[in-house]
Amino acid sequence: MAKQILCLLLAMVANVAWSGAPPHGLQVDVKRDGRLYTFHASFATSLSKCAAYHYLTDYEAATNLPGVVKSEASRQSATRVMVDRTADEHILFFSVRLHSVMEYTEKPFDGITFTQMQGDSKTFQGNWDIESNQQGSTLRFKGTWEPDTLIPLFIIDHFAKNGLIDKFSAIAQLAEKRKDILPGSCIN
């Protein structure tokens, strides 16, 4: 059952304890309507729009996030990629290994969309959009998730709302670490 709760977080991959204020104006919002969860997150980064796009589309680098043990990408076309990802998540005294297959559609250099093709959720889909700003770019995430579990939704509510800040903090922190690895195709 814990797999169903954590499936959403697999795509965001990470379980990091982050102390202090969220980085770079991180904002995270979770809402539930019936069984469907809607997620919004955004943060600023010093990465240029081009570098941020390359960061988001470096699917195999997700193994640099805590908990991700495998992230293998298989390009299907110029703008479509299948990602097979496995992560270990920890909740209380439980450790769960999660596996998911996601289809990503790339929109160079504006963002990516994704849909879960296989996994423990009924549905999980969303997108990352990239907007230029004076310091670099802003990454915006929007997603919807419908769990496939018998666990009461109030428990999932608590887990989702409290865990997503840590997940997106890890993603934002990794983006900043990548600022010195600028792809040759990007011009600052």
Delineate the domains of the chain, giving CATH numbers in brackets: 2-11+24-174 (3.30.530.20)
- Which residues lie closer than 8 Å to 110 by C-beta, 6 or more apart? 53, 129, 130
Residue 6: its pLDDT value, please?
A: 41
Q: Could you give the 3-state DSSP secondary structure of residue 121?
A: coil
Cα 13 to chain centroid, rounded: 6
The residue type found at 179 is K
Residue 94: its pLDDT value, please?
A: 58
CB of 110 within 8 A of CB of 57?
A: no
* Each residue's pLDDT expressed in tens, for the chain with a length of 188 residues: 444 434 433 333 333 333 345 567 899 999 999 999 999 999 999 999 999 999 999 999 999 988 899 999 999 999 999 999 998 876 555 566 778 899 999 999 999 999 999 987 888 899 999 999 999 999 999 999 998 777 778 877 877 777 788 889 999 999 988 877 766 677 65
The most distant pair of C-alpha atoms in the chain lies apart, rounded to whole Å, by 50
Cα R_g (the chain), whole angstroms: 16
Cα 89 to chain centroid, rounded: 14
